[in-house]
Amino acid sequence: MNEMIEADPTTETTNRCCAPVVETVARCCPPPSVEVVARLARVAKALSDPIRLRMLDVMAQGRACCGLPELLQRGVPGVGEPVGICVCDFQEHFGIGQSKASYHLRVLKEAGLVHEEARGKWSFYSIDAEAAASALEAFRQIMRI
């Protein structure tokens, strides 16, 4: 009744469910360059943290939006009002330490999303609109949307 059926080694290899498929398919669009992919990975990493996203939001809205103190009250050196938001303003606004605020801003800067303006011991950060637009366009191209 219980008959042993011996497997046929020729059918086992040709009828495998996971046999490798070797096809040559021409791509209709060239792949993105290694440099573009690396840049987008840095941008994606920079955007992957909620604090950094909120920092970008504050920068986009400007000083008046969030009840940040006037720069004249801080004694910032130099001529004219600096563009951007000071590290100390991010510290106060988000309730984080100087090293944490600086770390997050450095990640955004290394991703090319923000500019830094130094004034003595003060550093001010603002969105680099051209670089952000370029990154968004590169994401659109890579995702074909």
Q: Which residue has the higher pLDDT, 136 or 12?
A: 136
* Model confidence pLDDT, tens digit, residues 102-117: 999 999 999 999 999 9
Neighbour-count burial for 48-80, b at 16+ CB within 10 Å, e otherwise: eeeebeebbebbeeebeeeebeebeeeebeeee
Residue 119 has pLDDT above 90, yes or no: no
pTM of structure: 0.74
- Sign of CA pseudo-dihedral 126, 129, 130, 135: positive
| Cα separation, 35 vs 102, whole angstroms | 26
pLDDT of residue 3: 53
* Model confidence pLDDT, tens digit, residues 34-80: 999 999 999 999 999 999 999 999 999 988 877 787 776 667 777 77
Q: Which domains does the chain have, with CATH numbers?
A: 49-143 (1.10.10.10)
How does residue 96 score in pLDDT terms, banded at 50, 70 and 90?
A: very high
How does residue 27 score in pLDDT terms, banded at 50, 70 and 90?
A: low
Cα 2 to chain centroid, rounded: 63
pLDDT of residue 32: 86
